[in-house]
Amino acid sequence: MSNPSYRIFDASENAVIVYFSDILSSEQTQKIAAFSHALKTSLGELIVDVTISYTSALVTYQSLSIDHFSIKQKIKTILTQLNDTAFSVKQIELPAYYHSEVGADLNAMAKAKNLTLCDIIKYHSEQIYSVFAIGFAPGFAFLGEVNPILATPRLATPRKKVAKGSIAIADKQTAVYPAVSPGGWNLIGNCPVSLFDAANTPPLPFNIGDSVKFVPIERNEFIRLGGHID
């Protein structure tokens, strides 16, 4: 997993940023997640935080305990040893109720792409997605990539309110809205499982680098699992 093309730059007086590649892929995401894990394990309290994005990692460190030069040298050493780093990713299965009563854009997407609803369900649920990033809202995971036939631009005008659990597509990515919020993604279904609970440890069922697979369920199962139809 070592990457000779990485680049390291100073980001602030107590942070550096590591760029891994300009190419987004599940392998790249797992590499960055493995780096974050190895860095925290190796340097412990010297690391304040590691903020992961699609192709980079921002490393914030204790500047009173280690300087820029030393942290960069340690980062370079860890990067060269990533092949030997034990880092496990997990696959999460999420129940998905695909229907126009919870997916307001499902019928329009099917019509625009000349697909049946069954086609959309098949293409969306057969894919295994990588957690590229987590942001926008607690528990909102950017998952990719969808089958190219399902790639759909964001809505021209975002909705003021999107229901909790809504499964959506924007461009090449898909996601589940973990709470009621505004949103401009195309809604195709709903997941009745809560994706964020501050009282749990950890509060999320997945981490960056993990995989997610959607499992289609029927309406009665959706309701039994706690799903709501507005």
pLDDT 10s digits, 65-105: 999 999 999 999 999 888 655 566 789 999 999 999 999 99
Do 108 and 73 reside in the same domain of the chain?
A: no
Q: Is residue 32 part of a domain?
A: yes
The confidence score (pLDDT) of residue 37 equals: 87
Tell me what pLDDT residue 88 has: 67
- 23 against 104, higher pLDDT: 104
Radius of gyration of the chain (CA): 20
Per-residue pLDDT band at 3 (split at 50, 70, 90): very low
Overall average pLDDT of the 25-51 stretch: 89
Please check whether residues 121 and 61 belong to one and the same domain. no
Buried-state track 48-66, b at ≥16 Cβ within 10 A, e below 16: eebebebbbbebbbeeeeb
Give the global pTM: 0.82
Residue 40 sits in a domain of what CATH number? 3.30.1360.40
Same-domain check for residues 175 and 137: yes
pLDDT over 90 percentage in the chain: 70
Is 76 in the same domain as 120? no
Residues 39, 61, single domain; the answer is yes
The answer to whether residue 2 is domain-embedded is: no
Residue 198 lies in a domain: yes
230 inside domain: no
Instruction: Say yes or no: 114 and 62 in one domain.
Output: no
Question: Based on the domain organization, do 160 and 124 belong to the same domain?
Answer: yes
pLDDT at 6: 87
How many whole angstroms separate alpha carbon 51 and alpha carbon 59?
Answer: 7
Q: Sort strands 47-52 and 211-216 into parallel, antiparallel or unpaired.
A: unpaired
- Is residue 172 situated within a structural domain? yes
Residue 57 and residue 191: Cα distance in Å, rounded? Answer: 30
Region of residue 136 (phi > 0: left; psi between -120 and 50: alpha; otherwise: beta): left
Same domain, residue pair 99 and 207: yes
Sign, CA torsion 211/96/120/152: negative
Q: What is the dihedral sign for C-alpha 158, 172, 175, 102? A: positive
Structural domain boundaries, residue 53: 7-84
Confidence (pLDDT) at 1: 42
Examine the domain organization and report whether 151 and 46 are in the same domain: no
- Considering 19, 51, 84, which residue would you say is the last residue of a domain? 84
